[in-house]
Structure 1
């Protein structure tokens, strides 16, 4: 784990040290000791937001964007909301979409014993066949969605240890998991959004390419 001071983080992000503490309080950055930040959390923050200061969509709107791009109706949004969102999606780039949709879930990474993997998979909603869909090699990483109220139980049952460089990624959401499961199975949009937040260059590129394709298809 690489560690950096708050003042260094503020310089990298172009914000004040008070704003860095605000990001820590929100969970966007991980503070491991007073005045010390896990550098991986800074790298991930920059991978998603870059230099932009745009606010993220609400969780419901972010999931609505995933649904519309995947060909679903996003019934939890009103008709006027859906109409506005469709218009905005036609104007966005893939990187802007990643930034705006980041609050669809609270993302936390862990390390786990190798034996925990097969049991964890039964408790998470995961996009199917991500590697084959997006032209990537298979990995042993575990990355999936679960209800926000279930996170503590999953962490406890499987002995997960908080680690921003860990191979287990839990994405906690208040969205109905049946909806998340349907969207995960409909196409590559949800998987592409997840990959586009990766620090791995190949994964991030594959995610952005797939999102570009989905946005282009949506405009037609």
Structure 2
């Protein structure tokens, strides 16, 4: 029996967009019938066995940050040589669906929301102690999200977060327009370029947002990193 794109997306736990990308990449066989893609159950089952982990286990924070660093071509010096070798082997294996990467990166750190005015938002984004992520780093994905002024940033540790919130007078609020995140593990750096967090971390934060545009931008970014970076990781000699 033939399956529609929406049926495949539901079974694999990914979006329709992701299924179409897999089809175009040749990872999922499909044929067009009446202008729409139709896939066989056998091909979908075979794909699921190869690409979908039986149990998606979240990475620890330090491993999640290392995976994000490797995706941006940065060597995670906080890992031991044996840990780095195992992580490279894991990343160079068959790419997991986007949903799996979101789950694996869920342990990347802790997030807290605050209420802030426009001047406070500007000061937070301009601070040398923050790197932008989520919608605040949408220049990474080439799609500026619109809406109420806000900020989504990472800082090096909890002490920096406390100093910033106190210094700027930010008020804790579950519905706040500012999110400050902390890695949850000691890492040498939290960004590739000093301004934006590693792209997988940016994507992870976008996919945690309520805005469907943000979630779509996050998925696009994960797809881009998968296509651009994993082949490089698999071909780089162990160090």
- Name the TM tier (shorter chain): 0.5 to 0.7
In 1, distance between residues paired with 2:96 and 2:76? 19
> How many residue pairs align between the two structures?
169
Show the 5 A alignment for 1:138-217. 138=146, 140-146=149-155, 147-174=157-184, 179-182=189-192, 185=196, 188-217=199-228
Structure 1 residue ranges without an equivalent (≥5): 1-51
* Distance in 1 between residues matched to 2:150 and 2:227, nearest whole Å: 30
Aligned to 1:67: 69
Name the structure 2 match of 1:85.
87
1:13 corresponds to which residue?
A: none
Q: Which residue of 2 aligns with 1:21?
A: none
* Cα distance change of structure 1 residues 181 and 213 upon mapping to structure 2, 3 Å threshold: closer
Measured on the aligned residues, the alpha-carbon RMSD in Å equals 2.8
Residues 73 and 96 (structure 1), Cα distance of their counterparts in 2 relative to 1, 3 Å cut: same
Q: Name the structure with the higher helix share.
A: 1
1:160 deviates by: 1.9
Matches within 5 A, 1:25-64: 54-64=56-66
1:99 to 89, 103, 112: 103
**Structure 2 CA distance for aligned equivalents of residues 177 and 86 of structure 1:** 18
Question: Given that residues 196 and 208 in structure 1 are in contact (C-alpha distance below 8 angstroms), is that contact kept between their aligned partners in structure 2?
Answer: yes
Preserved contact between residue 93 and residue 212 of structure 1 (Cα < 8 Å) = no
Which range moved further: 132-141 or 107-116? 132-141
Segments of 5+ residues of structure 2 without an aligned counterpart are: 1-53, 232-239
The answer on whether the counterparts of 1:145 and 1:171 sit within 8 Å (CA) in structure 2 is: yes
Structure with higher Rg: it is 2
Q: CA deviation at 1:161?
A: 2.1
Deviation at 1:167, TM superposition (A): 1.0
The CA distance in 1 between the partners of 2:198 and 2:160, in whole Å, is 26
Distance (Å, rounded) in 1 between the aligned partners of 2:197 and 2:114: 27
Cα separation, 2, equivalents of 1:116 and 1:178: 27
Aligned partners of 1:93, 1:166: CA distance in 2, in Å?
A: 31
TM-score norm. by structure 2 comes to 0.61
